[in-house]
Structure 1
Amino acid sequence: MTDTLRAEVRPPARPPAASAGPPPDVDTRRIGHDAAALERFYRAHYDEIVRYFSRRLTDPHDVADLVADTFLAAVESASTFDPRRGRPLPWLIGIAHNRLRRFHRDRTSDHRTMGRIIGRRLLEPDDVADLEARIDAERRGAGAVGLLAALPESQRQVVELVDVHGLTPAEAARVTGVGAGLVYVRLHRGRTALRAALTNSEEHQ
Structure 2
Amino acid sequence: MESRSDTELLAGALAGDGEAFGAFYRRHVRRIAAFHLARCRTAQDAADLTAETFAVALEALDRFDPQRGEAIAWLFGIARHRNVGHHRRGAVEDRARRKLGIERIHLDDAGIEQVEATASAELVRVQLRDGFGELPPDQRDAVVLRVLLDHDYSEVAQAAGVSEAVARKRVSRGLSALRARLTAGRTTT
TM-score normalized by structure 1?
0.45
- Which is higher, the Rg of structure 1 or of structure 2? 2
Higher RCO, 1 or 2 (CA under 8 Å, sep at least 6)? 1
- Greater fraction of residues in helix: 2
* TM-score, normalised by the number of residues in structure 2: 0.48
